[in-house]
Structure 1
Amino acid sequence: MTLLDHVVLQVDDLNAIGDWYDQIVSLAGGTRTFDMPNLIGYALPGQPAQLFFSLATDPGGRQTHVALRVEDEATVRLGHEFATAAGAEILHEPRLWPEYGPDYYAVFIRDPAGNNLELKCQASTGRPTLST
């Protein structure tokens, strides 16, 4: 399993820097596969549409976003419990994110330095399992 799932760097102007990153990311074998007004993303050819590197503009601040891939839904919830106990700001509670994929399950946490940390997994059944 891979520890790092994806990274999103914050930039001032996507249009100004997007072409530059298109060239740089192509050196690593990536191509632009996702293009929205506030986000462009890159993936590896022949891979699912999973983004591994993105650029975004965030009018709410200049946070870096890092997503760590974890084993399962229980681990996502464990990360949420740890962050809550440690007093971290929870940006988004653990849940399915169908806009990112049918089995995309994640929690979004503000780390102590102010960055947006995501713990994510592929849900085992398209819905998270329940804790017992």
Structure 2
Amino acid sequence: MQPIIDHIHITVENLERAEKFYDSFLPLLGFDLSLKEHDCVDEHDYHIVEYHSSSISIGLINCRTSFKEGKINRRKPGSLHHMAFRVNSPAKVDALYEQIKALGAPIVHAPQLYPEYCCDYYAFFFKDSEGIEYEIVSFAREQYFPKDL
């Protein structure tokens, strides 16, 4: 069996601000904004913006009013530490770095080789509008993980 993640939902502090950022960011990775959906369940204080691609959906959900004062910390239990998107070449990592930097996203680490992960692990890290950390990475996964696992 091949594990497949279908969708990820991320709670954000400010849904409108996050939607503006993700409207610019996710198309760089192949998401089609014409497939974006909005939904809400008012009685549960639940509003979602969901972005779809052929392989995964990412949803942004408003935080409940009672949690508005909480601060994001990726080391807090239950928190998303970071999410990585793999691309097919170091050149694509570099191109996305320039595009994401142009969006005004805070850069945590510029593109570099991380041989401590594997000999060709090339990545950069940045934060979104809500302070959530992301990574764009390129490495030859199939070299390290044969298809029949």
State if a TM-score over 0.5 links the two structures: no
Name the larger-Rg structure: 2
Structure with higher helix content: 2
